[in-house]
Amino acid sequence: MVIDSVNRGAIDTFLTKPRKDDALSQGIKDGFRLYKIGRGNREMSHRLRKLEET
C-alpha cells in the first residue's frame, strides 16, 4: 500500500532491498523515458509560445 502510493507520486519508482537487477534496469529505463518526454514537452511549449508571439 505504501509502495503503491509512492509509485503514484513524485517519486517514479520505489525499489526495495534486496533489489532485483531487472527491476533496477527497468527503473533506469523508465527514468530516461520520462526525462525525454519531459524535455520534448518543454521544447514543444517553447515553440508554441514563440508561434503565439508572432
Peptide bond into 18 cis (omega under 30): yes
Print the domain residue range for 28. Answer: 2-53
What's the pTM value of the predicted model, to 2 decimals?
0.65
Q: In this predicted structure, what is the pLDDT of residue 47? A: 96
Contact status, residue 4 vs residue 13, Cβ threshold 8 Å? no
Q: In this predicted structure, what is the pLDDT of residue 36? A: 93
Q: In this predicted structure, what is the pLDDT of residue 15? A: 81
Mean pLDDT by 10 residues, the chain (54 residues): 68 80 90 91 96 90
Q: In this predicted structure, what is the pLDDT of residue 17? A: 85
* Number of domains, the chain: 1
Return d(Cα 54, Cα 42) in angstroms, integer: 19
Q: In this predicted structure, what is the pLDDT of residue 1? A: 63
